[in-house]
Amino acid sequence: MKNNHNSPIHKRQGKYNKFIAQMKIIFSAFETEKTMLQVSVETGILRANICRYVATFRKQDRIQELKKDYCPISGHKAGFYTTNKELFINTNTQYQIFDNEN
């Protein structure tokens, strides 16, 4: 009987499941506004992976950058992100303000 656990397809499925698990962890970590470095330190997930997941979430409108400020860990300017829809800045409201000034 052949062992199918060593097939390349099976290995890729394991890797895919790992990334899905990481995405869920990162999504919940951004419930409060944080920088990518804060999430990396908190979760132990590489910042390169977090950056890729944040880009995916941005395309899906599931995360938003709230502000740029100094990161409490690095001391450098960084973006603070959140996945909490209640904290999102409504861009439509900003455009309506400019439309009403005319």
| pLDDT in the model for residue 16 | 72
Over range 14-36, report the average pLDDT.
Answer: 90
Q: Which fold has domain 8-100?
A: Arc Repressor Mutant, subunit A (1.10.10)
pLDDT on residue 18: 82
Q: Which of 6, 1, 55, 2 is nearest to 26 (CA)?
A: 55
Which single residue is written with the structure tokens 């900003």? 94
> In percent, how much of the chain has pLDDT > 90?
67
pTM for this prediction: 0.73
Domain boundaries, the chain: 8-100
> How do residues 36-86 score in pLDDT, each as one tens digit?
999 999 999 999 999 999 999 999 999 999 999 999 999 999 999 999 999
Cα 12 to Cα 5, 7, 84, distances in angstroms: 11, 9, 31
